[in-house]
Chains A and B, each alone.
Chain A
Amino acid sequence: MKEMDTKQIKAFRGIGRKQVMDIIMPFFLVFLAFLLSSIWITFMGKNPLEAFATLFRGAFGSATSFANTIKKSVPIAFCSFAVIVSMKGNAFNIGAEGQLICGAIGATLAGALFRGLPAPLHIFLCIVASALFGMLFGLFPTMMHRFRGVDLLVIFLLMNNVAEYFLQYFVLDLFKSQNALVPSSRAIEKTAELPYLIGPPYRMTIAIILVLICAVVLTWFFNRTVAGYEMRAVGQNRQAARYAGIPIGRYTTMALLLSAMLAGIAGGLEVLGNYHCLYTEISPGFGYDGIPIALLCNANPLLAVIGSVAFGALRNGSLAMQAKVGISSEIVNVIQGSLILVIASNYFIRYLLNWRRRAK
């Protein structure tokens, strides 16, 4: 009896330790990624601490830079939601980049072609159009995956290229603006532009509210609805879900389409809120940013908001770093790449961290 008690206590301790690890782990992984990238900075003959301090100041130093960071984090947040939803449904959407581009195209079309609508309706229509375009772009790979068993990763990755080149055709030829200095598409109507939440020096649009609403709705969907529960079940254990009579294929398809929709909205908000027209460089890899965030925050939409602010800070601060310390803003890619690599070797790092306990 006594022995059993200690066993139970030990089990409890084990759980506690694991939970602590789950919380600490993301921070540790981010730290490792920064450590890895500081090697390159040192190699260049610069002080990594100074560089990261500049990065931090560039991202959060003043009110304007903070506003810019938040603005940059909006599309990243939606992309991370997209990846999260697909992960919950036992799939992995790495085509968020392509869907984002298509969503942006949809929003531009709806914004420029519909005329004379009242502002709220027009904005609503544009967002619906971006979601629809993103979903339609995700439809083909999803259907190929479901009915023909095509490898999801490969087809999504290839579709990204399709979207990228179609965007160039769209902006430079199909829908180009006649009187713009920089090659861009026709501008959207004034009524389609997102209203400002905080005025012109900061230019914060209502997009941030949409992000928060989306995070809350997703959390509610996954934790409080039957469909969300069943989707999670499919994501966590396919076999068990099948035994329980949950239609796996349907949920995977649903998750992927929902994910494509969210990625499309990310592109749409970027057009409606920031640029008001379409450029060829609309996305500097926002779709890929969503992946490490989704993995780091363990597919929790609310934590993903925090994660995307951090990634927005990285992107925004790197520009300041380039200007002040003279380190190429490409260091963002290095940090992000090492972060993904470190996440991929997550298990091994956990194994190493447990080394001392195992030795006992």
Chain B
Amino acid sequence: MDEILSLLLSVIRLCTPIFIAGLGNMFCERVGVLNLGAEGMMISGAFMAVLGSFLTGSAWCGVLFGLAGGMIAGAIHALICVEFGGLHAISGLGLTIFCRGVAKFMCVAVFGSTYSPNVQAIQTTELFAGVPVVGQWLKQLSPLVYLAIILGFLAHYVIFHTTFGLRVRALGDNPRAVETAESMFGKCDSSVCLFAGCCAAWPALIWALDSWIAILTV
């Protein structure tokens, strides 16, 4: 029984990053931007998360840094794809190579090797420790996992029950029609790209901050 439960827990732990990255790319696809740069955004987020945790000594600051890192990469993608009218595939590919290079380069520059030292991490949710029966299992997952699950439901709500979501879907289906209806083409696109960057950074955050030895082996 114990083995099955621990297997289940590690399955949840491992699938959350993929889920969140997929969520971000889902938004991108909905709005009609091909996001091949997700890998780059993840690497950027992971590096910034470790850097934030290393500099401030607080894992939650690391989370904020990581989100910002993903957002910067997302912003580059948005800038090139949406504002400059570049090819999505090329921009995404470039972003991946660029972020991989910069992260490794900066890793050597800041930490002195391609491995970062151990940083503060958030592995367990002590909040759930008091829950009867299942508490000992629930607390073994990182709070980031729970936030990810909430984010999943939130994404459904945003896409199907808000004006923003309607616009996003409309842009993906027929950008010309939306452009005719109102000129908010670029704005919506860019914000979604930023959000996708955030989302893509999330799994990296989990990977980076879930383990004690938050090594950066990009």
Closest-CB distance, B6 to chain A (whole angstroms): 27
**Residue A225 is within 8 A (CB to CB) of chain B in the complex:** no
**Cβ of A133 < 8 Å from any Cβ of B?**
no
- Are A40 and B90 interface neighbours, CB within 8 A? no
The B contact surface, by secondary structure, is helix
Interface membership of B196, Cβ < 8 A: no
A295 interface hit (Cβ, 8 Å): yes
Q: Does B50 contact A (CB under 8 A)?
A: no
- Residues of A contacting B96 with CB < 8 Å? 337
Given contacts A333-B97, A337-B99, contact A347 B105 (CB under 8 A): no
B101 adjacent to A333 (CB under 8 Å): yes
The answer, yes or no, to whether B89 is at the interface (CB within 8 Å) is: yes
Task: Give the complex CA separation of A337 and B108 in angstroms.
Answer: 18
A58–B109 CA distance with the chains assembled, in angstroms: 22
Contact of A341 with B105 in the complex, beta carbons under 8 Å: no
Contact A295 B90 (CB under 8 A): yes
Listed stretches B77-85, B155-163, B166-174; interface member: B77-85
Contact of B100 among A333, A339, A343 (CB under 8 A): A333
A348/B84 in contact, CB under 8 A = yes
Question: Contact: B98 with A334, CB < 8 Å?
Answer: yes
Residues of A within 8 A of B97 (CB): 285, 288, 333, 336-337, 340
Interface residues of B in 93-121 (CB under 8 A from A): 93-102, 104-106, 108-109
Contact residues in A for B89 (Cβ distance below 8 Å)? 92, 94, 153
Q: How far is the CA of A347 from the CA of B81 in the complex (A)?
A: 11
A255 interface residue (CB < 8 Å to B) = no
Contact of A330 among B87, B94, B104 (CB under 8 A): B104
Contact of A44 with B by CB under 8 A:
yes
A19 within 8 A of B: no
Q: Are B105 and A345 in contact (CB under 8 A)?
A: no
> Is the beta-carbon distance between A340 and B98 smaller than 8 angstroms?
yes
Q: Identify which of B36, B76, B98, B102 contacts A153 (C-beta below 8 A).
A: B36
Identity of the chain B residue whose Cβ is nearest the Cβ of A288 in the assembled complex: B97
A157 interface residue (CB < 8 Å to B): yes
Whether A119 is near chain B, meaning CB under 8 Å from some CB there, is no
A347 to chain B: closest residue by CB: B85
Check A153–B80 contact: CB distance below 8 A.
no
What 0/1 pattern do residues 174 to 186 of A give for CB contact below 8 A with B?
0000000000000
Interface of A is mostly: helix
**A43 in contact with B109 given A336-B101, A337-B101, A344-B91 (CB within 8 Å):** yes
Q: Is the CB of A343 within 8 A of B36?
A: no
Chain A, range 24-42, C-beta contacts under 8 Å to B: 40
Q: How far does the Cβ of B152 sit from chain A's closest Cβ, in whole Å?
A: 22
In the complex, the answer to whether B102 meets A337 with C-beta atoms within 8 Å is yes
Instruction: Encode contact with B along A265-291: 1 for CB under 8 Å, 0 otherwise.
Output: 000000000000000000001001001
Q: A328: CB under 8 A from chain B?
A: yes
Look across to chain A and name the residue whose beta carbon is closest to the beta carbon of B108. Answer: A328
Complex Cα distance, B104 from A332, in Å, reads 11
Among B36, B91, B97, B99: residue with most chain A CB under 10 A: B97
| A348:B98 contact, CB within 8 angstroms | no
Select B98's contact among A92, A291, A337, beta carbons within 8 Å. A337
B91 to chain A, nearest CB (A): 4
Q: Is A214 an interface residue (CB 8 A)?
A: no
From B87, B101, B102, give the contact of A344 (CB < 8 A).
Answer: B87
Per-residue interface assignment for chain B, residues 136 to 176, with 1 indicating a CB less than 8 Å from any chain A CB and 0 otherwise: 00000000000000000000000000000000000000000
- Please give, as numbers and ranges, the residues of chain B lying within 8 Å of A43 by CB-CB distance: 109
Tell me the residues in window 298-348 of chain A with beta carbons closer than 8 Å to chain B beta carbons: 328, 330-341, 343-348
Distance in Å: Cβ of B100 to nearest Cβ of chain A = 6
Q: Is the CB of B95 within 8 A of A328?
A: no
A334 to B96, CA, bound (A): 10
Which residues of chain A come closer than 8 Å to B85, judged between CB atoms? 347-348
**Nearest-Cβ distance from residue B99 to partner chain A, whole angstroms:** 7
CB distance from B86 to the nearest CB of A (A): 4
Give bound CA distance, A233 to B174, whole Å.
28
Interface of A toward B, CB cutoff 8 Å: 40, 43-44, 92, 94, 153, 157, 285, 288, 291-292, 295, 328, 330-341, 343-348
Ranked nearest first, the 10 interchain pairs of A and B with the lowest CB-CB distance are A337-B98, A333-B101, A340-B94, A344-B86, A348-B84, A334-B101, A337-B97, A344-B91, A341-B94, A345-B84
5 sampled A-B residue pairs with Cβ under 8 A: A94-B89, A288-B93, A292-B94, A334-B102, A341-B98
